[in-house]
Amino acid sequence: MAKKFAKRFYTELTTKSVEGGWHVLLDGRILKTPGKKTLLVPTQKAAELIAAEWEAQTEYIRPETMPVTRLLNVAVEQTPENRDALVAEARKYTGTDVLCYREGVVRLHAEEQASKWDPVLAWAAEQGITLTITDSLMAIPQDEAALDAVADFAAGLADMELTLFVHLVAVFGSAVLAMAVIKNHLTGEAAFELSRLDEMWQIKYWGEDEEAKERTDAIRADVNALCALLET
């Protein structure tokens, strides 16, 4: 059964500065989340990105084309009551960070991993997050202090940034790459490419399925759109 989409019901998109943040207005009406909460966002940039997504809708409203709106809906509706769980999720991911798991057979791939991933891990160590690398397929324990440092970083983020951070952790399979993006050490595009190093190695030799490529391109586009929230 084909999915039904709501028709576009508005003409004018505007943003408005209010106490505590910004609103997006559709024909003068304040935009709300799916749960009917007022969508109050913390920055003008966030409001403008949301407005641009709604402006880009044509005859029908397609939520899958609106990553910033979706993320901010979560940040407003869910994150405030779930901060501890999100912090714990980021800490857990750090224990199996993709940057720590290296190729144990193919030397050229292992060398590529080292040349591209080691500098990011060195940067993380400067942030108090020193992780152990392995060429084993089995998960290895990481230093509790490193995991706690990631949790402390996550806990110190405002709701929008925490929501984005945990989302990027899941997309990249790496808390280190996600932190590097949030702290403007890496762009979202650069972090995404680093997270796909193993996948790209497989594609180099075995080719890429067209559907898989479409999914990858869609995820990349979402990452780039979401990371625009970090721009000032």
Residue ranges of domains in the chain? 13-68, 80-230
pLDDT digits (tens, 9 = 90+) for 74-119: 999 999 999 999 999 999 999 999 999 999 888 999 999 999 999 9
CA distances from 25 to 11, 32, 51, 133 (A): 10, 9, 8, 49
The DSSP output letter for 3 is: P
Contact 54, 66 (CB under 8 A): yes
Residue 206 pLDDT level (bands cut at 50, 70, 90): confident
| Nearest C-alpha neighbor of 164 from the set 213, 116, 231, 100 | 231
pLDDT of residue 46: 98
Cα separation of 229 and 75, whole Å? 13
Domain 13-68 CATH superfamily:
ATP12-like (3.30.2180.10)
Cα separation of 185 and 187, whole Å? 7
Cα separation of 2 and 48, whole Å? 31
φ/ψ (deg, to 5) at 230: -85, -10
- Is domain 80-230 annotated with CATH 1.10.3580.10? yes
Long-range Cβ contact pairs of 3-11 (< 8 A, separation 24 or more) = 5/60, 5/61, 5/62, 6/60, 6/61, 7/59, 7/60, 7/61, 8/57, 8/58, 8/59, 8/60, 8/61, 10/54
pLDDT digits (tens, 9 = 90+) for 43-85: 999 999 999 999 999 999 999 999 999 999 999 999 999 999 9
Rounded average pLDDT over 215-229: 97
pLDDT of residue 111: 95
Rounded average pLDDT over 147-164: 98
Instruction: State the Cα torsion 28-73-7-223 to the nearest 10°.
Output: 120
Is the pLDDT confidence value at 1 over 50?
Answer: no
pLDDT of residue 223: 98
Structure tokens at 228: 């625009």
Is the pLDDT confidence value at 2 over 70?
Answer: no
Cα separation of 1 and 67, whole Å? 24
